[in-house]
Structures are given as structure tokens and as C-alpha cells.
Amino acid sequence: MKEPFLSALPLIHEIEAAGYEACFVGGAVRDFLLGRDIHDVDIATSATPAELKTIFSKTVDVGIEHGTIMVIQNGKSYEVTTYRSEGDYQDYRRPESVTFVRSLYEDLKRRDFTMNAIAMDKEGNFIDPFAGRLAVEKKVIVTVGSADERFQEDALRLMRAVRFVSQLGFHLEKQTEKAIKEHVDLLRHISVERITAEFEKLLDGKYKKNAFELLFHTGIYKRLPSLFNQEHVVQSVTKLEISPLKELDIWLLALYFSGEHPVTTLKKWRLPSKKIKLLSMALSYLMLRKDHFWSRDELFTAGKEIALLVETAFLTIKREDVQLAHLLDKYESLPIKSLKELTVNGNDLIRWTGKQSGPWIGKVLHEAAQAVINGEIANHKQEIRSWMENCRLI
Ligand SMILES: Nc1ccn([C@@H]2O[C@H](COP(=O)(O)OP(=O)(O)OP(=O)(O)O)[C@@H](O)[C@H]2O)c(=O)n1
Ligand SMILES: [Mg+2]
């Protein structure tokens, strides 16, 4: 056995010493079998939360209504969940109240996919009544028992299936895929926040092209908080497979293909306002890098055109530039961020040239602004004027 299971072992020993069962379950066991990084181990037990509290001195009620408490030991925290059974699901969402059971089998039976229904005991033996290990070996996502029932119990599982495709590169078993198609409408019962949380994991996955194809193929995309243009997204995602950008890219694409104001789209996904701000800034920076100096309003209405630009920007931007933080630092350090910040305006141009006002003014200002952004000249009135004269712009 390896970390982080090893440091959680004493907990299992203590629960067992008190006369109850305890084992590792869920994503940690699945990821262990796959050789993936394991973030947090989940422990399942036959002891009720009240019984656990008599065993451990430091506990926090993190999800006690679902039978989960957090045990704190040696400065680390572990989620321990009491075995529970299916059948308490209401309105196709997670159950409001749960029925605790004493049997591990009953607990594994109510889980979503066989790969997530494998338990591992303290000696590293697997308890795998639904052939989850075989599914992992075959890279297949298949529900535990009836697919219809599992999806009706909690419709978020539709999204989970697709995000596992993206993270793990697995494929959907036939019946499971059929049931997803049939139950797409159930997603309307699921909160936007939960859908977005799964979608963000999907965006972070290595196999997002497959996942996006599935979103369209199953019809899930119609139930997402904002619409995507299917053809454009599939094309772009194919390119993005080789793009070093991770979540930023698809969020940006989501904006363009929705054909509406980016902030409107991102609000539909209920992203935190800080994130919305960061994404708009990253968007502006990408535009500036592609020599497109547009006002915010123009930027927001340019839709498709921006999409094409960003696609090429993804492919041309240097790898070290792509970290969001790096991108934003660069954006912050730009000498000007809009035409209005240029020290020269249209009236100056008219005065200097004696010419009539017209579309030429915008073009000249635009070129000067781009030169300032590229660091060719400083944002000083006289310097800009000389530069314009040298370039025969005025
Ligand atoms: N809608 C859900 C959510 C979770 N589970 C079960 O609860 C476990 C833990 O859930 P969670 O931590 O949300 O997902 P993981 O599968 O552990 O994935 P991750 O690695 O992203 O945490 C899952 O493995 C699965 O057995 C479920 O049956 N149905
Ligand atoms: Mg987990």
C-alpha cells in the first residue's frame, strides 16, 4: 500500500478496534488502480456518525446529513462516510436524508459506476462485487446495476460520466450511453453550480475532445447553462488537444460561440465574479497579442471573428505565456489597455494635419496604440506625433 492510504490506515485500525468495519472506497481506489495521483482518500464504515464521534476526539460535521464526518488526526483531515443505501433519492438529486446500513455490499450497490464501487481493506485486498477492476482494465464506464435507476437517482451522474471520459480516456458502455441519452432532460433538476463543477473537471481532462463529442452525441450540451455551436467547438477542441492552454481555452471558446456578451455567458455558468474578471482580462490580452486593438464593447460583440483569432492565438502563443497568472501579469503591465488611454486623440490629429475628420483617424490611432502596446514607442504625445510623421501616417 502507498500514500495517501498509508497515513489513513491508523483510522481504519481504530474503527475496527471499536468493533466496526472500515475500508477505502470511491475515486481514490479507482485512481490507485489506474496509477493516477490520489488527492483525498474516502473511508467508508459500518459505524454511524454518532458512533464515530465516540471513537475520535476531533471531528467536524462536514456532511453529516449524508453520513459524512471529517476526522482530524495528526494535523490531517479524512472524510469518513457511513455505509448507506439507495432509495432515498428525491427529485433526481442527491438524497436529502439517508438510510444508514451495516453492509458494505449495500453501500457499493448504490454507487454510480462500477469503477467507483470498489473497496480496499487495510491489507490492500479488494472487495469488488461489481467487477469494477475489470471495467478499469477495459477502460469502460458502466453503471452499477440498472443504468436507468442510477441516473434517475442522481442526474448529475450524466455529467460525471462525461467528465470521467475526459479525465480518464475511458469509453461508455452501450447501455450506460443509451440511458444517458434517454435521461438528458433530468439534468434540469441539477443546480448550475454542480454542473459547472463537473464541467470544469471536464475542461481539465486530457481527453476533452472525446468528452465534447459525447456532450453533443448524447444531447447533454443542450442542457448546459449556455449553448455552444457544435461544429465550431468540435473543430476548435481538436486544435486545442495540442494547445497548452487548459481550462482557459474552452471557457473562452464558450464565450465566443455563445454569441453573446462574455460576462452574460459566464454568469450563466455562475462562475465566481473574480474568475469572470480574470477571463475577460485574459481575453483582452489575447486580442492585443493578435494585433487587434478593440474597445471592450467591440470585443464583446465581435463574436465569431474573435473565436477565429483566439484559435490562432492559442497556437502561436509561447508555452510559458499561457499560464493564466502569467497572462494576467502581462495584461496588467501593458502601457495602455484601450484607445482612450492613448495620449493622442482625434482632435490632436485634426489640429496637426488640418484634415477633415473621418475614418482615417481611427485607423491612425489604432496603429499608434498598437505600437505603444508592442513597446515600439512610449505613450507620450510628442513621441507619438514624431512616430506618426516618420511612418507617414499623418
Ligand atoms: N453522484 C454521485 C457522486 C458520487 N458517488 C460515489 O461517491 C464516490 C465519491 O464521490 P466524489 O468524490 O464526488 O467522486 P470521485 O469518484 O471520488 O471522483 P474524484 O476523483 O473527482 O473525487 C464516487 O466514487 C462514487 O462511488 C456516486 O455514486 N454518485
Ligand atoms: Mg473523490
Three-state SS annotation for 69-130: EEEEECCEEEEEEECECCCCCECCECCCCCCECCCHHHHHHCCCEHHHCCEECCCCCEECCC
Q: Taking Cα atoms as reference points, which of 287, 281, 296, 252 lies closest to residue 370?
A: 287
Give me the residue spans of the domains in the chain. 1-131, 139-224, 229-334, 341-390
pLDDT tens for each residue of 260-314? 666 777 788 898 888 777 777 777 776 666 555 555 555 555 555 555 555 565 5
Question: Does the C-beta of 27 come closer than 6 Å to ligand 1?
Answer: yes
- Residues placed in the known binding site for CTP: 27, 30, 111, 154, 157, 160, 163
How far away, in angstroms, is 26 Cα from ligand 1 center?
A: 6
343 has a pLDDT exceeding 90? yes
Q: So what's the pLDDT on residue 348?
A: 96
Q: Taking Cα atoms as reference points, which of 242, 239, 253, 241 lies closest to residue 286?
A: 253
Residue 186 identity: L
185 has a pLDDT exceeding 70? yes
CATH superfamily of 1-131: Beta Polymerase, domain 2 (3.30.460.10)
Please state which of the four CATH numbers 3.10.129.10, 1.10.110.30, 3.60.9.10, 3.30.56.10 is assigned to the domain occupying 139-224.
Answer: 1.10.110.30
Question: Does the C-beta of 157 come closer than 6 Å to ligand 1?
Answer: yes
- Residues placed in the known binding site: 27, 30, 40, 42, 111, 154, 157, 160, 163
ipTM of the complex: 0.98
231 has a pLDDT exceeding 60? yes
How far away, in angstroms, is 28 Cα from ligand 2 center?
A: 6
Question: Does the C-beta of 67 come closer than 6 Å to ligand 1?
Answer: no
Identify the CATH number of the domain defined by range 341-390.
1.10.246.80
Q: Where are the alpha helices (DSSP H) in the chain?
A: 5-17, 27-34, 49-55, 104-109, 132-138, 147-153, 156-168, 174-182, 192-203, 208-218, 230-240, 247-258, 262-268, 273-289, 296-301, 303-316, 324-332, 346-353, 359-373, 381-390
Residues 246-266, mean pLDDT to the nearest whole number: 63
Q: So what's the pLDDT on residue 65?
A: 81
197 has a pLDDT exceeding 70? yes
Joined grid coordinates for residue 89: 433519492
Q: What is the mean pLDDT of the chain?
A: 84
How far away, in angstroms, is 112 Cα from ligand 2 center?
A: 12
User: DSSP of 199-238, one letter per residue?
Assistant: HHHHHT-TTHHHHHHHHHHHTGGGGSSS---HHHHHHHHH
Question: Does the C-beta of 132 come closer than 6 Å to ligand 1?
Answer: no
Question: What angle is formed at CA 309 by the lines to CA 256 and CA 275, rounded to 5 degrees?
Answer: 50
3-state secondary structure of 42: strand
